[in-house]
A and B are shown apart, each in its own frame.
Chain A
Amino acid sequence: MNQAEIEMPTVGDFARVFRRIQSEVHKVIVGHERAVEEILTALFAGGHVLIEGVPGTGKTTLVKTLGLAFNLSFNRIQFTVDLMPADITGTRVIVTGAEGRRDFTFQPGPIFCHILLGDEINRATPKTQSALLEAMAELQVTVAGKTHPLTPPFFVMATLNPIEMEGTYPLPEAQLDRFLFKVRLDYPGEEELVRIISTTTGPEEAGVEPAFPADEAAARVEALKRLVRSVIAAPAIEQYAARMVRATQPQSSRFLSASQPRVREDAVDRYVMFGSSPRGAQALILSAKVRALLDGRANVAREDIDDVAVVALAHRIMLNYAAHSDGVDARQVVERVVRSVRSAGS
């Protein structure tokens, strides 16, 4: 269906669709309420998500279920050391035509879908990992000098296994920065584990009902994404987000303009080597707009930015050795930054 034919959804529509997809996902995924909400937020904000979790916590199942709930095309790539970029983007192959003429034809790779799961992305070589960069940022792939656009919506969910780090290639900072959120899937609690056992080992599998008809799904999701972007963020709110991102830069950073004041947080000066990029501010505002719509508002509030700050900024800051030796992680640092910026006021 043409996107122009889709009626612009209202604020109420957005919250309704969001809650429905959430409930469909939770028919399969037990627990992880916060993680599911964050992944859906990133999807409607037009971003990509990096999911970190130990094996067996339902990362792949979650992504598959999302694809089913949205009724969007879904592909999965298992990243390995010998995976080549062409295996992701596609390549040109010789095809014999009806007249017997042989031509090079572009054979699209698995990246040509709406929802892409890059499983254990850190097992592939940097060259292969970077093949995702252009697609994630510009929604297109270039093969043999020819650019092929991807069909929106395009949503990448990559998973990372925090253990088994041998033979892996940590994602470069530039690539990490392209993910809107880094979501952590924690090990389930006992009660959740019992529910997982009972729902997955019974005779019947939980069925996921799509939220949209297949032919409308992409257009509907795109309309919802446009609605998100139309949410109003007052200049003071944008300033608040900018102040928060600047506060993640350590005082010693040579990339920080010393003449401009910023909110100082001791933990940042002590533990952070490099702070968030400007993409962090964009991520804050976009995901805060989703939160505002979920709350039935047409305006972004400071609370929305505070809500998404940790998940939007933690993977964008690079910690130093002092942080590693003190056992401080980036989420803790961002939490303290949020407190400092909030208490600094407007």
Chain B
Amino acid sequence: MPSPLQARKAEEKLGIILDRVGAIRVRLNSLAWQGAVFGVLGWTIGCVALVLLAAYYLPPLPFLGSSILLLAAMLYGLFRTGRAAWLAHSSMFRAAELADQRAGLKGRLETIVQLGRVKSSPAEAASPIRSASAAPMWSYLIEDTLAHQGEFEPARIENRLLSRSIYGLLGALAIALLAFPLIQSARRNARHPASGRSEITLGLNDLKLQPADPGSNNGVEVHADARTMKILREMMAAQGLEHRSGSPSSLSRLLNRARGFANKLQSKLTGLPGSNRPRINLKLADAGKNPGGLGQMPPPTVPEPPANNPPEPEPQKPPNQTDSALPPMQQAESASREKKPDAGKAQANASQQGGPGNQEKPSTGDQIRRGRGDHNGSAGSSHGSGADPDSLFGQRTEPHLGNQGFQIAIEARPMANGPKAEGHPYVPPKVDTPLNPEQQPDQPVPRVSIPQQDRAAVKSVFER
């Protein structure tokens, strides 16, 4: 039976070991918490930076998709970080186990922590270290472990003071820093659009009308007077496209809603107007001579239609109505038409003689100009107000699509990945026409050998 002095000394030694294990635990838990904090910050900063970048650089639908993905990745990362921190959080026993492993103490600390802490609990009587036979072994274990105390210094068990997850946070900060100039650049570009945009003149023959796909952002907003829109609708009807723009499908409605939501989100995040879709202003080249032309038309800028839904024609504007309701560009055009009543006619005539693509002398009369709708400049403004196709172009000719004698001013940005830019020909939609009762479906011609008497003739044909 140990004396009280011996018992007190044994308690002190046990206390030294437990304190040391406690210090190891504090260090391990500090690292675990650091890991949690750094991880949460890293995931949040990185994902927010990427979402902002996407808001500036991606069209609405891809922005929405990528934002959802990034949000999911962030939630997963936060979950992983929290779970890892929870698992890395150490109890005294876990700290002792880890210290045993790292210092090669073969369970000494684990045993001491597990059994030494029983002393103050009601299970003390049942503790194996209280049995008479095990008591000497317990003393031996304490002494033996203290002899190894240099091996389980907290700094030796875990030499890091800073969690490795700081690298993740630094990576996220680097992403944010890289994103910052890109965002700044995007903001500058959005506030000060590039000046000196070139004007593009295209022949109407080249104008292929097609409703934009619901999920695509390649569609453009068409702004034109009612008559132009009517002609466009006729062209679309001639190309068999009108039915596609009639009633939007549920998918397209859903996509439009998603696009609208993404647009609003982008606007909120960036503080810029939402849509970056190109706007096209269409004007008839003979509008100057037409009493019901552009000058007397209702405001040509129509509300933004859905991508697959062509805008409804504007109601006819009374002839005496001024252009005060028009946007600045349209007002400028109207003013220029009033000043040069013959300019529109002259240019229209000139455009009929010129070749396609000639900006100075548009040959087809269809002028397509790049730029924002509100900053159109003077393109298409010299053909006068109003249009009378019967008298504007001299002798009446049979109307021909693509040679209607009006100008189209298109605000558009040349894109490298657009179908026009790549020069892909227009592929007409497949039409499955039912056969009449007298028609027979195509049958493959059976392959037969050339009759002996015809071979000489066939040979002579191919030799020639």
Contacts and interface: CB of A to CB of B under 8 A. Distances in A.
A327 to B, nearest CB: 35
B162 interface: no
Given A233-B128, A235-B114, 11 more contacts: A11-B140, A230-B133, A230-B137, A232-B137, A236-B110, A237-B110, A295-B106, A297-B106, A298-B137, A299-B111, A299-B112
Nearest to A296: B144
A10 B144 CA distance: 13
Nearest to A10: B140
B61 interface: no
Interface stretch (A129-137, A151-159, A202-210, A300-308): A300-308
Contacts of A268: none
Contact of A299 (B97, B108, B133): B108
A229 B107 contact: no
A232 B106 contact: no
Contact of B108 (A11, A229, A297, A346): A297
A95 interface: no
A165 interface: no
Nearest to B137: A298
Contacts of B111: 232-234, 237, 299-300
A229 B114 CA distance: 19
Interface string B70-108: 000000000000000000000001000100100000111
Contacts of B114: 234-236
Interface residues of A, number: 25
Given A230-B134, A295-B106, A299-B108, A346 B115 contact: no
A301 B137 CA distance: 15
- Which 7 A-B pairs give the minimum distances between C-beta atoms? A301-B107, A301-B106, A299-B111, A234-B111, A298-B141, A230-B133, A298-B137
Interface string A229-269: 11111111100000000000000000000000000000000
A226 interface: yes
Contacts of A10: 140
Contacts of A304: 106
Contact of B141 (A226, A232, A295): A232
B101 to A, nearest CB: 10
Interface string A294-327: 0111111111100000000000000000000000
B107 A299 contact: yes
A8 interface: yes
Nearest to A299: B111
B138 A303 contact: no
Contacts of A233: 111, 128
18 contacts: A11-B140, A230-B131, A234-B107, A234-B115, A235-B114, A236-B93, A236-B110, A237-B110, A295-B106, A297-B107, A297-B141, A297-B144, A298-B140, A300-B107, A300-B111, A301-B107, A303-B106, A303-B107
B140 A229 contact: no
B138 A232 contact: yes
B303 interface: no
Interface string B108-145: 10111011000000000000110101101110110010
A11 B137 CA distance: 8
Contacts of A226: 133
Contacts of B107: 234, 237, 297, 299-303
Contacts of B110: 234, 236-237
B93 A298 contact: no
Which of A234, A237, A292, A296 has most B Cβ within 10 Å? A234
B106 A231 contact: no
A235 B140 CA distance: 19
A229 B133 contact: yes
Contacts of A301: 100, 106-108
Given A234-B107, A234-B114, A346-B97, A299 B141 contact: yes
Contacts of B129: 232
A236 B93 CA distance: 10
A298 B131 CA distance: 14
Contacts of B97: 236, 346
B138 A298 contact: yes
A308 to B, nearest CB: 14
Contacts of B137: 11, 230-232, 298
Contacts of B138: 232, 298
Interface string A275-302: 0000000000000000010011111111
Contacts of A11: 137, 140
A304 B133 CA distance: 21
A234 B107 CA distance: 9
Nearest to B142: A298
A296 B100 CA distance: 16
Nearest to B109: A299
Which of B110, B111, B114 has most A Cβ within 10 Å? B111
B107 to A, nearest CB: 3
Which of A234, A235, A299, A300 has most B Cβ within 10 Å? A299
A342 to B, nearest CB: 12
Contacts of B136: 8, 230
A246 to B, nearest CB: 21
Nearest to A11: B140
B14 to A, nearest CB: 13
Interface string A330-346: 00000000000000001
B114 to A, nearest CB: 4
A45 to B, nearest CB: 16
A304 B100 CA distance: 14
